[in-house]
Amino acid sequence: MSVKNITVTGMTCNHCAMSVREEIEELAGVTDVQVDVESGRVQITSDADLDDAAVTAAVVEAGYQLA
């Protein structure tokens, strides 16, 4: 099991958090995604190490950026 913490900028509400969560959950191996809108912190739990480029692409696809 692997845990990755990232910070996402631009989220302002629960809908934002849901968009980010849904995109990241589509990545292979992801088992859990926790999003804190206030701090922008996103904790991703997966079965194996995640590719940073894939995580970044998922965040961008949701309409946000990594800090």
Number of residues in the chain: 67
What per-residue confidence (pLDDT) applies to 10?
96
Greatest Cα pair distance in the chain: 30
Q: Sort 18 into a burial class: Cβ within 10 Å, 0-12 / 13-18 / 19+.
A: middle
What per-residue confidence (pLDDT) applies to 28?
95
Rg for the chain, CA atoms, rounded: 11
What per-residue confidence (pLDDT) applies to 15?
97
What per-residue confidence (pLDDT) applies to 25?
98
* DSSP string across 15-30: HHHHHHHHHHHTSTTE
Mean pLDDT of each 10-residue bin along the chain, 67 residues long: 96 97 97 98 96 97 97
Domains in the chain, start-ordered, CATH in brackets? 2-66 (3.30.70.100)
Q: How far apart are CA 35 and CA 47, in angstroms?
A: 18
pTM of the model: 0.94
